[in-house]
Chains A and B, each alone.
Chain A
């Protein structure tokens, strides 16, 4: 019987099969570090007198805490400054490559890896960050780890892991105009719930996935964790190879040919079986948003705020009641009438160049809604430079947006980019938890297209709403 892609990746990285109940030992090809979850791991190495086994398979960047303004000045917040300085000191002491604030290769760790060509098909990739699932878009087994595991990988370049189950997510049909990869993954999470993927590696399959660009595939895999899965995968194809080719660390010449030959084998066999399968028709999708305080509380933008009484399940009903109270929403209100204070475009979910291009294309020649703030934070310094080379920065600035330096920023508000209490955002990020973007802040997760259209109208909107308005004039 055939095997799935996830199982092939596991087998090809098996250092030692576990015996007598012991877990398997799996080799790690790439370990990425950032300032928040690495300090205690490096300290652990120091206390045990251990070294980093493979500094040449390790890379660090600064992202979670970094400011997006005045990056040439000392960081104002002392605890953030110390945490970042600690990463710099550890990188120096242990010989780890680091891209610091101000460097052209600094940025959100999950944007930096692929852009440097360090993320490739067939790899195992880990980072002390749950959104490491992003890299699965290359056909890599990629997942977030805890601090003890960060230390374990630093010391051994391996992890002891128990096996996982496999789930196929089949998305077929053609995505309608104005819908994106973000709408696919938000619909998947609403369908299977925030715990639906627990214990599974997800494999996204079908012609709608094949039709996505490489960056859009990263958006899909990124939010696998919001469905409860540690990892999400897409089999690599020509789209992937084309994206990797020519990047700084991509193989060259005969190495490239050997690599591609290897990568072409990274598919789930026709006769392989998944533990679970679900299917979605892409043609049925429309722009999607979240209305609640977990990523599974989502709905089409064309709908209205749900009534908790309509939920048959008592737990879901109570969760909806609590969420609407926190979000300050009234059942029956059309989502299109919900006024937005701040639009955030950025994050490891939607902070890449294609996301900025798509949003700029919508707002070009239009005017920003007067009472809405629009924060644009490129996923990496290179993305920012690329956008500036294409003139996108001027489009955003002319529109009235704030054009910032790269980092995680308002996705989690560890830096000064936060929502005020009761402030409402339309955010291209990945988590709408209570207080995630600032204490008391209210988050609606949206695609870059919905973000841009919302910044124009000042209420949750899709690009189609702009065209409709234009047709009326």
Chain B
């Protein structure tokens, strides 16, 4: 995972609350087997609407999404975070996030920054006054700066540290690989292993057919 200290990019004011993960990425895209390439699926139902904010030239290359409260509710699908990342978003700002979405974001290096709704209103106005305006998000200072406006944001200390170190959960856990290996030595020998495979005697499974 890349280290995250500060990010400067175009801010996208999304004036909607309760943006659930079905809206972020519809279920029809969940049968895909790849981890990347979900950019076309992001907000798929809204992208057909020319007036949707990401269809406006000024915001097309946006990388900081500023949304209304309760962002990422509903289904736990991690595809929602992948789609935002694949599109190019590095930061999502809202006054409240659904727990699971926030957790998934942290695992994928997408910064979910919690900003007071009154400050979000300030950011929305500043961005709408000058579409395509950039803002700077400093994870070190926990601030969002847009021209002469600087507002603070909240993030879990542990997640902040992990993002700043650029450590994904796996990399972090593997720092303690010695502990894992030591633990494995203490496991009772009778604990089951899937390999070598043991089964009841093999039997032929007859294919069912549709009733005539």
Complex formed: what's the CA distance from A433 to B180 in Å? 40
Of B76, B198, B200, B204, which is in contact with the most chain A CB atoms at under 10 Å from its CB? Answer: B200
Answer whether residue A251 sits at the interface, using C-beta atoms and an 8 A cutoff. Answer: yes
Cβ B202 vs Cβ A148 within 8 A: no
Cβ A155 vs Cβ B174 within 8 A: yes
Cβ B179 vs Cβ A69 within 8 A: no
Cβ A83 vs Cβ B31 within 8 A: yes
> Considering the complex, which residues of chain A in the window 13-52 have a beta carbon less than 8 Å from any beta carbon of chain B?
15-16, 20-23, 25, 27, 29-30, 36, 39-40, 43-44, 47-48, 50
Cβ A151 vs Cβ B170 within 8 A: yes
Cβ A105 vs Cβ B199 within 8 A: yes
CB A34 to nearest CB in B, in angstroms, measures: 13
> Considering the complex, which residues of chain B in the window 161-175 have a beta carbon less than 8 Å from any beta carbon of chain A?
169-170, 172-174
Cβ A69 vs Cβ B207 within 8 A: yes
CB A199 to nearest CB in B, in angstroms, measures: 10
CB B104 to nearest CB in A, in angstroms, measures: 6
Residues of B with C-beta under 8 A to A44: 35
Answer whether residue A259 sits at the interface, using C-beta atoms and an 8 A cutoff. Answer: yes
Cβ B208 vs Cβ A69 within 8 A: yes
Contact A104/B203 with A15-B183, A30-B192, A97-B194 known, Cβ cut-off 8 Å: yes
Stretch at the interface among A316-324, A340-348, A380-388, A447-455: A380-388
> Considering the complex, which residues of chain B in the window 153-211 have a beta carbon less than 8 Å from any beta carbon of chain A?
156-158, 169-170, 172-174, 176-177, 179-180, 183-184, 187-195, 197-200, 202-205, 207-211
CB A406 to nearest CB in B, in angstroms, measures: 8
Answer whether residue A241 sits at the interface, using C-beta atoms and an 8 A cutoff. Answer: no
Contact A71/B205 with A43-B35, A146-B78, A146-B104 known, Cβ cut-off 8 Å: yes
Residues of A with C-beta under 8 A to B30: 36
Cβ B158 vs Cβ A249 within 8 A: no
Cβ A148 vs Cβ B104 within 8 A: yes
* Contact among A16, A30, A116 for B179, CB-based, below 8 A: A16
Cβ B192 vs Cβ A27 within 8 A: no
Answer whether residue A357 sits at the interface, using C-beta atoms and an 8 A cutoff. Answer: no
Contact A120/B173 with A68-B208, A104-B200, A148-B104 known, Cβ cut-off 8 Å: no
Of A30, A149, A156, A405, which is in contact with the most chain B CB atoms at under 10 Å from its CB? Answer: A156
Cβ A79 vs Cβ B31 within 8 A: yes
Answer whether residue B33 sits at the interface, using C-beta atoms and an 8 A cutoff. Answer: yes
Complex formed: what's the CA distance from A453 to B194 in Å? 40
Answer whether residue A147 sits at the interface, using C-beta atoms and an 8 A cutoff. Answer: yes
Cβ A120 vs Cβ B195 within 8 A: no
Residues of A with C-beta under 8 A to B78: 40, 146-148
Complex formed: what's the CA distance from A104 to B32 in Å? 28
Answer whether residue A210 sits at the interface, using C-beta atoms and an 8 A cutoff. Answer: no
CB B176 to nearest CB in A, in angstroms, measures: 5
Cβ B170 vs Cβ A152 within 8 A: yes
| Minimal Cβ-Cβ distance residue in A for B103 | A146
Cβ A249 vs Cβ B189 within 8 A: no
* Contact among A21, A53, A117 for B192, CB-based, below 8 A: A117
Residues of B with C-beta under 8 A to A384: 205
Binding site for B on A (CB under 8 A): 15-16, 20-23, 25, 27, 29-30, 36, 39-40, 43-44, 47-48, 50, 53, 55-59, 68-73, 79-80, 82-83, 86, 97, 102-106, 116-118, 120, 123, 130, 146-149, 151-152, 155-158, 160, 248-251, 255-256, 258-259, 262, 381-382, 384-385, 402-405
Known: A117-B198, A149-B107, A250-B192. 18 other contacts (CB 8 A): A21-B158, A25-B179, A47-B35, A53-B180, A57-B194, A69-B210, A104-B203, A104-B204, A105-B199, A118-B192, A123-B192, A146-B78, A148-B78, A151-B170, A152-B169, A152-B173, A258-B188, A405-B205
Binding site for A on B (CB under 8 A): 30-35, 76, 78, 82, 100, 104, 107-108, 156-158, 169-170, 172-174, 176-177, 179-180, 183-184, 187-195, 197-200, 202-205, 207-211
Top-7 shortest CB links A-B: A39-B33, A248-B198, A255-B190, A251-B190, A40-B35, A148-B107, A79-B31
Q: List 21 A-B contacts (CB under 8 A).
A: A27-B180, A43-B35, A47-B35, A53-B180, A56-B195, A71-B207, A72-B207, A97-B195, A97-B197, A106-B205, A118-B194, A148-B108, A152-B170, A155-B170, A157-B180, A249-B193, A255-B189, A258-B188, A259-B190, A382-B200, A385-B203
